[in-house]
Structure 1
Amino acid sequence: MSDSLNKIAFGGGCHWCTEAVFQSLKGVQKVEQGFVASTEKNHTFSEAIIVHFNANLISQKVLIEIHLYTHNSTSNHAMLNKYRSAIYTLSKKQAIEAKQSLSELQHEFDQRLITQVYPFFEFKSSDQRYINYYIKNPNKPFCKNHITPKLRLLLSQFMKHVDVKKLGGAVKP
């Protein structure tokens, strides 16, 4: 990837959770929360985020690894249309690298990864009241029960990639 700002999109579980995880990372400049559609059979929108990142500070492979560990990337659950476990790529090169990363990271998981690589096609932003959900509502039950544990996992497994100032006061290292 080039030295300039890069983009990649991730889907996996609730986009409030995914947004909070990726907002906390060094090298991530911006996270857009909403719904992503791909092409063909995955043309319907599912919850996802677009991550704008500086590849000099955090690699695409590290972003993918964090994505796999912070959502249920091995469960073939019934809500896969709404919560698609996916990496949405914006170029053929990015897709090749994403597939290679999935292959290399599979050995870290006991079960088969269900996360798929799809071409990015379209994005719809979430309603403004849901953007930065965790930052605005860290003490709400959903945040405490679902997002805070993901941020704690992030701190325990990926601390060197976390910008503690971005976490706010809800989760401490």
Structure 2
Amino acid sequence: MTVERIGLGGGCHWCTEGVFQALKGVDQVDQGFLSSTSPWDAWSEGVVAHFDPAAISLATLVEVHLRTHSGSGTYSPGGRYRSAVYIFDATQSTVAREVIAAVAAERDEAPRTLVLPLAGFQASEERYRNYYRTDPDRPFCRRYIDPKLDYLRRQFADLTRP
């Protein structure tokens, strides 16, 4: 099995972690803070997803990311909730840009999710990791993560874990 990695940032990392842990083919999700190169070197919340490209494509992961967070809403591109795909190589950059452009065109809006090289990762404190898995009944989980997981089960049913 080949394992690839992709960084994903947008909104709360608890939500992003819960979404990508629910997908078949994603073997590990590291929650924390990601940074890129200047001027995008400020730490922002996100995850690094480890996935098997034979089970789930990078294009699908990027599409899921775009459809489960507000990458087109008001946010600070340089801030804590930066909407971004953090890439590890040029091939990932091409795929991410194509998917971002396609989803933006579908929505008839300018693409706002950034494609950035991953320059650094700092894991969240242990007590925040696996946030949804450890207590899905938390009010935060019910309000913010459950609707994203419901969307996944409807729109990407063949790719979600039971």
Identity, % of aligned positions: 40
Letter in structure 1 aligned against 2:156: F
- Matches for 1:1-173 after TM superposition, within 5 Å: 4-78=2-76, 81-164=79-162
Q: How many residues were matched structurally?
A: 162
Q: Greater shift after overlay, 30-39 or 3-12?
A: 3-12
Q: For 2:112 and 2:156, locate their aligned partners in 1 and report how far apart those are by CA, in whole Å.
A: 22
Stretches (4+) displaced over 3 A: none
User: Alpha carbon RMSD of aligned pairs, Å?
Assistant: 1.4
Q: For 2:138 and 2:60, locate their aligned partners in 1 and report how far apart those are by CA, in whole Å.
A: 29
User: Is the Cα contact below 8 Å between 2:87 and 2:116 reproduced in 1?
Assistant: yes
Deviation at 1:95, TM superposition (A): 1.0
Unaligned runs of 5+ in 2: none
Q: For 2:40 and 2:77, locate their aligned partners in 1 and report how far apart those are by CA, in whole Å.
A: 14
- Can you list the C-alpha shifts for 1:6-34, whole angstroms capped at 9, x where unaligned? 00000000000000000000100000000
Q: For 1:112 and 1:77, locate their aligned partners in 2 and report how far apart those are by CA, in whole Å.
A: 14
SS of the aligned residue for 2:72 comes to coil
User: Is the Cα contact below 8 Å between 1:88 and 1:119 reproduced in 2?
Assistant: yes
Q: For 2:3 and 2:63, locate their aligned partners in 1 and report how far apart those are by CA, in whole Å.
A: 19
Q: TM-score, normalised by structure 2?
A: 0.95
Unaligned runs of 5+ in 1: 165-173
Letter in structure 2 aligned against 1:45: W
